[in-house]
Amino acid sequence: MLNRSAVICVLVLGLVFCACTRAKSAAENQAAPETSSSAAPFTLPTDNGPLPSINAARALQYTKEVTAFGPRWVGNPNHKKLEEYIYSHLKGDSVQDDVFAADTPEGKFPVRNIIAKYPGTKDGIIVIAGHYDTPYYLRSVGFVGANDGGSSTGLLLELANQLRGKKRDGYSVWLVFTDGEEAVRQWTETDSVYGTRHLAEVWQKNGTMPKIKAFLLEDMIGDADLNIDRDQNSTPW
């Protein structure tokens, strides 16, 4: 249930505030940056103070509202309505769009990554991301992605509530609502993660990439029978 996800979120927030700071097949795993074996080991904060928490009930309510829009494949009216919904919750925050036309096996689709930025005092960025679209190839079955694009969006919106208006003596935190994550026909290296791949190119070109200290992906969360496999492409911690 989502409460289990809330525990994970508390730990994530603890790292974000204190240190500063899908389960698809193996073929769907995204490549992660190589890490040096000589890099300093990751350690948890030593502060014994209470960890920040999130409102799990509110995150669940956001998830219900997101899935109520129905199937949200890129370019359909429900998808557009969800974009407006996300913007309404980020009103007053520092929000940046990454908009482009993705070339897919079914033609061009409009893709929009939404980035909410919460500044810190150190020169570095913690990215917490999750996609908000649902698969185009499942458009005829009414797939709403409750725990695949729905729950992660609800979580990000709740994290925004906790980050909004708070000063952090540490890294900046960016919440990234990625778009075009799902395949249009069948998951391949070229027919998938359109938004994330484009954003990575943009960040590489504009100098953002070296500033990213950690990238935390929120996906496939909130399943009542959740199984979490070890991701061999991610950093050990």
Instruction: Enumerate domains of the chain plus CATH numbers.
Output: 2-23+52-217 (3.40.630.10)
In the block, tokens 């185009």 appear at: 136
Confidence of residue 52 (pLDDT cuts 50, 70, 90): low
pLDDT at 127: 98
In the block, tokens 């989502």 appear at: 2
Judge contact between 215 and 140, C-beta under 8 A: no
Judge contact between 129 and 140, C-beta under 8 A: no
Dihedral pair phi/psi, residue 215, rounded to 5°: -125, 115
Is pLDDT above 50 for 21?
Answer: no
Judge contact between 129 and 212, C-beta under 8 A: no
Task: Indicate the pTM of the whole model.
Answer: 0.78
Is pLDDT above 90 for 30?
Answer: no
Residue range 73-90: mean pLDDT, rounded = 97
Q: Quote the CA–CA distance of 155 and 225 in Å, as a whole number.
A: 18
The alpha helices in the chain, defined as continuous H runs, are 2-18, 56-67, 77-89, 151-163, 194-206
> Which three-class secondary structure state does DSSP give residue 91?
coil
Bridge-based pairing of strands 107-118 and 94-104 is antiparallel
Bridge-based pairing of strands 94-104 and 172-178 is unpaired
Q: What is the pLDDT of residues 167-203, one digit of tens each?
A: 878 999 999 999 999 999 999 999 999 999 999 999 9
b/e 93-131 (16+ beta carbons within 10 angstroms → b): eebeebebebebeeeebebbbbbbebebeeebbbbbbbb
Judge contact between 190 and 105, C-beta under 8 A: no
Is pLDDT above 80 for 67?
Answer: yes
Bridge-based pairing of strands 107-118 and 172-178 is antiparallel
Dihedral pair phi/psi, residue 51, rounded to 5°: -80, 145
More reliable by pLDDT, 225 or 86: 86
Q: Quote the CA–CA distance of 133 and 170 in Å, as a whole number.
A: 31
Q: What is the pLDDT of residues 109-136, one digit of tens each?
A: 999 999 999 999 999 999 999 999 999 9
Q: Quote the CA–CA distance of 195 and 31 in Å, as a whole number.
A: 15
Cα 133 → chain centroid: 11
